[in-house]
């Protein structure tokens, strides 16, 4: 049933709420109410527009409910809502039936929602904690005097690239999941940052691995580094497309990042053929590399197939859905990779950076 503006649960004057710049309604004329409602409807997106024919009323019943909802958000009293009533731009995974945040066109409301329970809580915290973890670890690697670097500046740049990629990826990710419900424009902008962050993590992971694995072969080392950078720039360019973030492109997204990661097969095979499986496993730390690849591939597969929520619709709304598991696997894979690369660094350091007959690459 259509709701008229005067029935909406408005509070008089600016509340302690989320948008202090918004003036309060004028009770005598109701103009403030209409203006406010119009402003909220505008901020919430073009789908929820005021009906110019019915002055003071809001044409579709859904619109009235959503406006009432937006007022609750303003007052800081929002409740989670089911998937069905989400606007199209917030609809991503139809196996998560309930527990979604409503559209909240206020950054303050979005950031406060970090401490509430909803479908994005797990996604935010898994990468917020991961971000802090790699930030602290990165500072340690950059400034600790006990790192035994052979070429301190070069090696700090190499490790720094990894930590920059990892921290930016995790930071863009938790920010995206926090402000995802703000508005269509903000969600689109931050999703592009989120996807660019994944590329930065992959490229940043390649750099120290290629540096230490091809330590004594500067030519293939440089060629592989240039190739992964070009592929990374291509992936970032592709992820700037507005279609890339849509649910229909889920498999394409997984494919682009999987492809970027799998481009590491060429240098891996090169290393295996040149050094042999024994040395690849010991000096080359291939075991850690394979574990890392396995974690990333498992994460990407669960993400693309939306497992386990596909088998338990509505049961994984808040915890244990595919996106959260994917987030945890990304952090774990980055940690495994860092361990492997640190072992490679320790190996080169133990040789004092020397290249002998026995070290082919
Ligand atoms: Zn995510």
The pLDDT assigned to 45 comes to: 47
Residues 62 and 125 in one domain: no
Residues 327 and 219 in one domain: yes
Residues 209 and 311 in one domain: yes
The H helix count followed by the E strand count for the chain is 11, 0
220-243 confidence digits (pLDDT tens): 999 999 999 999 999 999 999 988
Q: Is the pLDDT of residue 13 over 70?
A: no
The pLDDT assigned to 72 comes to: 62
- Does some domain include residue 357? no
Instruction: Calculate how far, in angstroms, residue 48's C-alpha sits from the geometric centre of ligand 1.
Output: 27
The pLDDT assigned to 1 comes to: 40
Instruction: Calculate how far, in angstroms, residue 123's C-alpha sits from the geometric centre of ligand 1.
Output: 6
Q: Measured between alpha carbons, how far is 16 from 20 in angstroms, rounded to an integer?
A: 7
Residues 339 and 263 in one domain: yes
* Average pLDDT score over residue span 282-287: 90
Instruction: Calculate how far, in angstroms, residue 19's C-alpha sits from the geometric centre of ligand 1.
Output: 27
- Does some domain include residue 226? yes
Which residues line the annotated binding site for Zn(2+)? 177, 323, 327
The pLDDT assigned to 52 comes to: 41
Q: Is the pLDDT of residue 32 over 60?
A: no
pLDDT band at 329 (very low <50, low <70, confident <90, very high): very high
CA-based torsion, 259, 263, 264, 270: positive or negative = positive
- Does some domain include residue 168? yes
Domains: count for the chain: 2
Q: 166 or 66, which is more confident?
A: 166
- Does some domain include residue 355? no
- Does some domain include residue 104? no
Q: Provide the domain limits for residue 137.
A: 112-350
Residues 176 and 32 in one domain: no
* Average pLDDT score over residue span 25-30: 34
Reduce the DSSP state of residue 147 to 3 states and report it.
coil
Range of lowest pLDDT (27-41, 198-212, 300-314, 315-329)? 27-41
Domain of 227: which CATH number? 1.20.1070
pLDDT band at 356 (very low <50, low <70, confident <90, very high): confident
Instruction: Calculate how far, in angstroms, residue 189's C-alpha sits from the geometric centre of ligand 1.
Output: 14
CB 35 within 8 A of CB 56: no
Residues 244 and 294 in one domain: yes
pLDDT band at 73 (very low <50, low <70, confident <90, very high): low
- Does some domain include residue 340? yes
Instruction: Calculate how far, in angstroms, residue 194's C-alpha sits from the geometric centre of ligand 1.
Output: 7
Retrieve residue 273's tokens. 């053929």
CB 253 within 8 A of CB 244: yes
pLDDT band at 19 (very low <50, low <70, confident <90, very high): very low
Predicted TM-score (pTM) of the model is 0.78
Single out the residue of 109, 116, 102 nearest to residue 74, CA to CA. 109
Instruction: Calculate how far, in angstroms, residue 323's C-alpha sits from the geometric centre of ligand 1.
Output: 6
Instruction: Calculate how far, in angstroms, residue 233's C-alpha sits from the geometric centre of ligand 1.
Output: 20
Residues 72 and 122 in one domain: no
- Does some domain include residue 92? no
- Which residues have a Cβ under 8 Å from the Cβ of 72 and sit 6 or more positions away? 9, 78, 79
| Domain end position, chosen among 77, 104, 123 | 77
pLDDT band at 255 (very low <50, low <70, confident <90, very high): confident
Residues 33 and 138 in one domain: no
Residues 225 and 343 in one domain: yes
Which residues line the annotated binding site? 177, 323, 327
| DSSP-assigned letter for residue 311 | T
Residues 238 and 127 in one domain: yes
Instruction: Calculate how far, in angstroms, residue 109's C-alpha sits from the geometric centre of ligand 1.
Output: 20
Helical (H) or strand (E) element with 345:
helix 322-350
pLDDT band at 70 (very low <50, low <70, confident <90, very high): low
Q: Distance between alpha carbon 150 and the CA centroid of its chain, in Å? A: 35
Q: 112 or 23, which is more confident?
A: 112
Residue 328 to residues 98, 179, 226, 312: CA-CA distances in angstroms? Answer: 22, 20, 30, 20
- Which residues have a Cβ under 8 Å from the Cβ of 151 and sit 6 or more positions away? 353
Residues 61 and 141 in one domain: no
Residue 176 to residues 53, 95, 188: CA-CA distances in angstroms? Answer: 38, 20, 9
pLDDT mean across residues, the chain: 83
DSSP letter for each residue of 53-88:
SSTTB-SSHHHHHHHHHHHHHHTT----B-GGGS-G
Q: Measured between alpha carbons, how far is 179 from 31 in angstroms, rounded to an integer?
A: 30
- Does some domain include residue 96? no
Residues 122 and 196 in one domain: yes
DSSP letter for each residue of 150-173:
SSHHHHHHHHHHHHHHHHHHHHHH
129-156 confidence digits (pLDDT tens): 999 999 999 999 999 887 889 999 999 9
């Amino acid at each position: 049933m259509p709701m008229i503006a005067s029935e909406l649960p408005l509070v008089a004057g600016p509340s302690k709420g989320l948008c202090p710049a918004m003036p309060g309604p004028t009770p005598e004329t109701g103009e403030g109410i209409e203006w406010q409602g119009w402003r909220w409807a505008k901020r919430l997106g073009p789908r929820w527009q005021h009906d110019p024919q019915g002055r003071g009323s809001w044409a579709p019943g859904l619109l009235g409910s959503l406006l009432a909802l937006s007022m609750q958000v303003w007052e800081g009293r929002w409740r989670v809502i089911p998937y069905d009533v989400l606007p199209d731009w917030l609809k991503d995974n139809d196996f998560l039936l309930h527990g979604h945040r409503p559209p909240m066109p206020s950054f303050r409301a979005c950031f406060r929602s970090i401490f509430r329970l909803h479908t994005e809580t797990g996604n935010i915290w898994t990468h917020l904690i991961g971000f802090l973890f790699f930030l602290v670890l990165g500072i340690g690697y950059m400034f600790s005097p006990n790192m035994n670097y052979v070429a301190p500046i070069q090696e700090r740049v190499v490790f720094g690239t990894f930590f920059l990629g990892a921290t930016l990826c995790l930071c863009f990710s938790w920010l995206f999941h926090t402000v995802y419900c703000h508005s269509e424009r903000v969600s689109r902008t931050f999703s592009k940052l989120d996807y660019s962050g994944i590329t930065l993590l992959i490229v940043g992971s390649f750099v120290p691995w290629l540096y230490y694995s091809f330590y004594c072969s500067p030519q293939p080392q440089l060629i592989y580094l240039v190739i992964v950078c070009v592929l990374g720039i291509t992936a970032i360019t592709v992820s700037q497309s507005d279609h890339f973030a849509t649910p229909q492109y889920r498999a394409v997204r997984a494919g682009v990042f999987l492809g970027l990661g799998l481009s590491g097969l060429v240098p891996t095979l090169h290393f295996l053929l040149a050094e042999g499986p024994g040395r690849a496993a010991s000096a080359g730390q291939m075991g850690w590399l394979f574990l890392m690849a396995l974690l990333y591939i498992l994460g990407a597969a669960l993400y693309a197939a939306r497992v386990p929520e596909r088998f338990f619709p509505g049961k994984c709304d808040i915890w244990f859905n595919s996106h959260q598991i994917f987030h945890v696997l990304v952090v774990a894979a980055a940690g495994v990779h860092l361990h492997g690369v640190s072992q490679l660094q320790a190996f080169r350091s133990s040789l004092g950076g020397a290249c002998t007959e026995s070290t082919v690459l």
